[in-house]
Amino acid sequence: DAKTTQPTSMDCAEGRAANLPCNHSTISGNEYVYWYRQIHSQGPQYIIHGLKNNETNEMASLIITEDRKSSTLILPHATLRDTAVYYCIGLGYFSSGSARQLTFGSGTQLTVLP
Amino acid sequence: EPEVTQTPSHQVTQMGQEVILRCVPISNHLYFYWYRQILGQKVEFLVSFYNNEISEKSEIFDDQFSVERPDGSNFTLKIRSTKLEDSAMYFCASTRDTSSGNTIYFGEGSWLTVV
């Protein structure tokens, strides 16, 4: 799995866009970038994933640089309920080539301020 | 929207007792996982399960742990003789397959307190 690097914490004003960066310079060519979040010890919640192209869904947008060494998760209009730990993960295979697993780092604590 | 469900949401047990945590994965999913998170620490992988057998397990998943799919819907984690350090939130997860781009979905967790 690619090692990812994220800032420890970020603040964002309610209603503004939250831009969460992630560096994944060792990501391999077929390794997707996944974003999850965890709200106060609840189960990790899937947000979005991408390989090369930028992606958008009802929750967020994902911007991946052309060299795939970094990406940015964008929450277009952050609300107080978006306060959570956000994880950027490179989803890889076990060495045996079998089922994938997610390796969680420490993530970014996003605090949305009123 | 389909979801992974876990029971119980919270269990308190005496040290040395056996505990079974239950999970109902999303119905058409074939790969199942258990993760745990000790309070204040990272989410850690325990085990993955496919085709009625363990695919991979971490160093944490020692002989006191076991997993089972006793019927077509449930997926269980058994801790044979609980220790104080087993106190954690345990998350079940599932995915349809392990092809690139597929998503792993998590349940809300079972909080285990060993006293």
**Residue B64's pLDDT band (cuts 50, 70, 90):** very high
Q: What is the pLDDT of residues A73-92, one digit of tens each?
A: 999 999 999 999 999 998 76
pLDDT digits (tens, 9 = 90+) for A31-63: 889 999 999 889 999 999 998 889 999 999 999
Identify all chain B residues contacting A94, using CB atoms and an 8 Å cutoff.
48, 55-56
Mutate to test the interface with A, among B43, B57, B92 (most CBs of A within 10 A): B43
Contact list, A43 vs chain B (CB under 8 Å): 4, 91, 106-109
- CB proximity A28 to B under 8 Å: no
Nearest CA in chain A to B39: A41
How far is Cα B46 from Cα A101, in angstroms, rounded to an integer?
Answer: 10
For B75-93, write each residue's pLDDT tens digit: 999 999 999 999 999 999 9
Note the pLDDT of residue B90. 98
Looking at residue B1, its pLDDT comes to: 72
Higher pLDDT, A25 or B46: B46
- Does B109 sit within 8 Å of A42, measured CB to CB? yes
For residue A1, what pLDDT is reported?
60
Res. B103 pLDDT band, cuts 50 70 90: confident
**pLDDT band for position A29 (50/70/90)?**
confident
Tell me which residue of B79, B78, B80, B75 sits closest to B92, measured CA to CA: B75
The Cα A38–Cα A30 span in angstroms is: 26
Measured between beta carbons, the chain A residues lying within 8 angstroms of B42 are 104-106
Task: Test A30 with B106 for CB contact under 8 angstroms.
Answer: no
Max distance between CA atoms of chain A, in angstroms, equals: 48
Q: Which residue of B has its CA nearest to A46?
A: B105
Contact assignment for B98 to A100 by CB distance below 8 Å: yes
Q: Are the beta carbons of B55 and A98 separated by less than 8 Å?
A: yes
pLDDT recorded at residue B5: 97
Neighbours of A73 (CB within 10 A): 25
CA distances to A8, B15, B39 from A18, rounded to whole Å, are 15, 44, 27
The DSSP symbol for B83 reads -
3-state SS, residue B46? strand
Residue A99's pLDDT is what? Answer: 54
